[in-house]
Structure 1
């Protein structure tokens, strides 16, 4: 029994899970997943008339939402820095649309986290804000969040269009290279084939990343839109959408740590 317990505790998947949760982003996404699942469960219980149990899940949701604000206190600086780095990169042609939208995304999220921090400071009475002021900052939080998501949607869409054109050029160049490979030695052909496969895998990975971001933003956009009154989505649907995007983000973090583990072993 002890060996079975030790095997379970020391399992590589457990170790990788702990590595993900050891990061601030990993913990935030895990808390977010539980938060939105609690929102969905509370809504479902309320529909069934189970008010007392629903209140417990509502309390869990609110507690996690408050806790996540503490984890995100210094994130505005992170997004402002990313916006400045992107603005300094010289980009020409169609990629400019994606770059400008990405800068807008970084600025939108910087504004979102800044106002979110002000709301939290007001809630704990560190800042003297009345209910009207808190509501105003909360609305600004939703506006910045919505603008950041919309810019992200534009950036991902523009990047996918550019990637499609790059993929066509890559396929065309690959065909030309194959026709001309008969004049080269076997070592040169093998090297060029390996390079083409590597380039193809990179394009595919980039496409999957962009599609994942597009799906995530398409789900998340309804949360601030509903908070602002631009849309009317019930708490159950918002909980489900938030849980889906949280799980997707956790998967991304999981893959990053898995790739880091492979590089270390090599």
Structure 2
């Protein structure tokens, strides 16, 4: 995961910087290295993701069959998120076969657009889940503040509050990351016409947030 996030950061930063150099009328010799990094790292990431759709199909099944007491809305959104990623990775794998020349597709652009649509659906589910989770945490914090007593119970209240604050921070970072990712598939399917500068910068920020979140989990 860490390797993919690092490659993703370099890929999208190169996309942004190549756009910046082009807009500032720099020579093609200065732009070409970053265009190459963007393409090669993008293909490398696709190759590393081959077969990953299986993991997401399994994750969707686990989320659906979860026997623990889970909010039904969050359960549905979790299933939708994982199925979206599974679809994205499935189409992504097909485009790799075309990119490597193993089997040429009649319409590779259509396959890539389908991949973006699946990713967009996944991001929408994830973003809605993030907003809903933050709202639920806010409601829970208010309930704890109003119903807990003093003394020994106060410690329990503080522990609950700190835990929910950690959950809130994680949910907020994930939501921000999803929102920064949204321009990529929105542009990819042509819903919102965006230039490489916005797409590259959005991808860079979301990738850096992913690296930071991964680091926080291991720190």
Under a length normalisation based on structure 2, what TM-score does the superposition of the two structures give?
A: 0.94
Q: 2:33 maps to which residue?
A: 56
Corresponding position of 1:15: none
SS of 2:129's equivalent in the other structure is helix
RMSD: 1.5
Partner of 1:78: 55
1:79 aligned counterpart, secondary structure: helix
1:142 to 112, 116, 125: 116
Say whether 1:151 aligns with 2:136.
no
Runs of 5+ consecutive residues of structure 2 not aligned to the other structure: none
- Cα distance in 2 for partners of 1:69, 1:248 equals 20
Q: Take 1:63 and 1:194, find their aligned partners in 2: how far apart are those partners?
A: 53
The structure whose Rg is larger is 1
Instruction: Identify which of 98, 110, 125 aligns with 2:74.
Output: 98
Trace 1:117-132 onto structure 2 (pairs within 5 A).
Answer: 117-130=93-106, 132=107
- Matches of 2:103 and 2:166, distance apart in 1: 45
Q: Distance in 2 between the 1:103 and 1:163 partners?
A: 21
Q: Deviations over 1:193-220 (max 9, x none)?
A: 4332221111001011111111111111
Contact 2:77 2:126 in 1 (8 A): yes
Question: SS of 1:238's equivalent?
Answer: helix
CA distance in 1, matches of 2:208, 2:22: 24
Contact kept? 1:98, 1:154, Cα under 8 Å: no
Contact 1:98–1:156 (Cα < 8 Å) also in 2 = no
| 1:253 Cα deviation from its structure 2 partner | 1.0
3-state secondary structure, aligned to 1:229: coil
1:44 aligns with 2:20: yes
CA distance in 2, matches of 1:92, 1:79: 22
> Structure 2 CA distance, aligned partners of 1:256 and 1:208?
12
Question: Is the contact made by 1:99 and 1:155 (CA closer than 8 Å) also made in structure 2?
Answer: no
Cα deviation code 1:50-100 (max 9, x no counterpart) = 22211211011100000011221122111111111111124778x211221
Is 1:76–1:113's contact at 8 Å kept on the other side of the alignment?
A: yes
Output one character per residue of 1:209-264: Cα deviation in whole Å (capped at 9) or x when no partner.
Answer: 11111111111111100111100221111111111110000001111121xxxxxx
Q: Distance in 2 between the 1:128 and 1:232 partners?
A: 28
1:33 to 9, 12, 21: 9
- Aligned pair count reads 218
Tell me the SS of whatever aligns to 1:199: helix
Q: What residue is the counterpart of 2:193 in the other structure?
A: 232
List alignment gaps of at least 5 residues for structure 1.
1-24, 182-188, 259-266
TM-score (norm 1): 0.78
Runs of 4 or more consecutive aligned structure 1 residues displaced over 4 Å after TM superposition: 90-93
Tell me, yes or no, if structure 1 residue 203 matches structure 2 residue 180: no
